[in-house]
Amino acid sequence: MSRIAVVGGDGIGPEVVQTGMRVLRAVAEGDPALDLEFTEFPWGCEYYLENGRMMPEDGIEVLSGFDALYLGAVGWPTVPDHVSLWQLLIPIRRNFDQYVNLRPARLLRGVESPLRKPGVLDVTVVRENTEGEYSDSGGRLFAGTPREVAIQDSVFTRHGLERIIRYAFDLAGTRRGRLTGATKSNGISITMPFFDEVFREVSEEYSDIEASLMHADALAARLVLDPESFDVVVGSNLLGDILSEVTAAVSGAIGIAPSANLNPEGDYPSLFEPIHGSAPDIAGKGVANPTGAIWAGAMMLDHLGYDAAGRRIVEALETTLESGTKTGDLGGSAKMDEVTEAVIERLRG
């Protein structure tokens, strides 16, 4: 049995994660080897407004007993974003050493890219997930005065860089053999040259991989103009975050894209989620795109060793989209539940 902790979160998060669980249960019906047990936790911004924290003090300890974590989305207008992120998702990533943020993007059948000539779009962004620019290091001086100063430090370690870059090289070796490192060493004079140095050092171990460094701004432009030329992209916490939003957008819509927060060694549970936000403006309307959450569920099955079931979900999802059953953000007219039912019908058929 695989025990999965479910945190719906906020806005459309609970809606999409429920659709994802329905799909996961449906694929398990036809596979006696696939035994999933879900436990839901009501953590998020509503919990924060009632209790003054995003999850209980023992939240990390509670989650540590699960095989995987499944998250909807976090964020609400009445709770500052830095509170919602730093009291839930980032503590999970860091306490469970989920140092790989894996964000695949490809043009699914039945989905149109906003690009005029998208070509073959199949790019995976590997984002460093526990340090870098998203480090809680720094502070503010003379707050509320004309002398106010805010300092935020970026923290890059050789250990952190080597393991994320090596993971990206290994991944490229299973795909088309091309890796691009996202840098900004022409403007950021300490951490980014360090990233470049480690990238080049690690690349010497992988003579079979076509490896190169590219400035992140030029890389973002090339992802739009010529996405077909990329295979795997590896970047720091901030650059990887931004570039994966670009790849999601060129693949059709932010609502499509899934992500995995991985502890590759399996010492701790990994977390799976769509990359879209909580979208408070459409919460409760039943129009959210469930694709990202469903695909993230398939990635979770892959991670747990149920590769065939994960592939079945993605195939059913693509066939559904190809048939024209898709939400408004993809140019369709279907509601979230209609897309979900169509996917489940194909899994059961």
Query: What digits encode the pLDDT tens for the residues 332-346?
Result: 999 999 999 999 999
* pLDDT tier, 31 (very low <50, low <70, confident <90, very high otherwise): confident
Q: Given this model, what pLDDT does residue 117 score?
A: 76
Q: How far apart are the C-alpha atoms of 241 and 342, rounded to whole Å?
A: 31
Q: Does domain 1-103+256-349 have CATH number 3.40.718.10?
A: yes
Q: How far apart are the C-alpha atoms of 325 and 338, rounded to whole Å?
A: 8
CB 26 within 8 A of CB 301: no
Q: Given this model, what pLDDT does residue 115 score?
A: 87
For 138-196, write each residue's pLDDT tens digit.
Answer: 999 999 999 999 999 999 999 999 999 999 999 999 999 999 999 999 999 999 999 99
Q: How far apart are the C-alpha atoms of 46 and 39, rounded to whole Å?
A: 19
Q: How far apart are the C-alpha atoms of 252 and 255, rounded to whole Å?
A: 8
Chain-centre distance of CA 230, in angstroms? 19
Span 101-114, mean pLDDT? 94
Burial of 122: CB neighbours in 10 Å, binned 0-12, 13-18, 19+: middle
Hunting for tokens 């990635």 — which residue is that? 299
Sheet with 122-128, strands from edge to edge, namely 36-41, 2-9, 68-73, 270-274, 258-262, 100-106, 122-128, 232-235, 178-183, 210-215
For 211-267, write each residue's pLDDT tens digit.
Answer: 999 999 999 999 999 999 999 999 999 999 999 999 999 999 999 999 999 999 999
The answer to whether residue 347 scores a pLDDT higher than 90 is: yes
Helical H segments across the chain, by residue range: 13-29, 45-51, 59-63, 81-84, 90-95, 158-174, 191-203, 216-225, 237-250, 291-304, 307-322, 336-348
Q: Given this model, what pLDDT does residue 211 score?
A: 98
Whether the domain at 1-103+256-349 and the domain at 113-251 fall into the same CATH topology: yes
Contacts of the segment 58-65: beta carbons below 8 A, 24+ positions apart: 59/91, 60/91, 60/92, 60/95, 60/96, 62/5, 63/5, 63/92, 63/96, 63/269, 64/96, 64/268, 64/269, 65/3
The answer to whether residue 283 scores a pLDDT higher than 90 is: yes
Burial of 315: CB neighbours in 10 Å, binned 0-12, 13-18, 19+: middle
Q: How far apart are the C-alpha atoms of 255 and 50, rounded to whole Å?
A: 29
Name 271's Cβ contacts closer than 8 Å, sequence gap at least 6. Answer: 68, 69, 70, 71, 92, 93, 96, 98, 260, 261
Q: How far apart are the C-alpha atoms of 149 and 293, rounded to whole Å?
A: 40
User: CATH fold of 113-251, please?
Assistant: Isopropylmalate Dehydrogenase (3.40.718)
High-pLDDT (> 90) share of the chain, %: 95
Q: Given this model, what pLDDT does residue 118 score?
A: 75
Full-model pTM: 0.95
Task: For residue 131, give the amino acid letter.
Answer: E
DSSP 285-333: TT----HHHHHHHHHHHHHHT-HHHHHHHHHHHHHHHHTT---GGGT--
Selection from 253, 228, 231 nearest residue 112 by Cα: 253
For 272-282, write each residue's pLDDT tens digit.
Answer: 999 999 999 99
Domain borders along the chain are: 1-103+256-349, 113-251
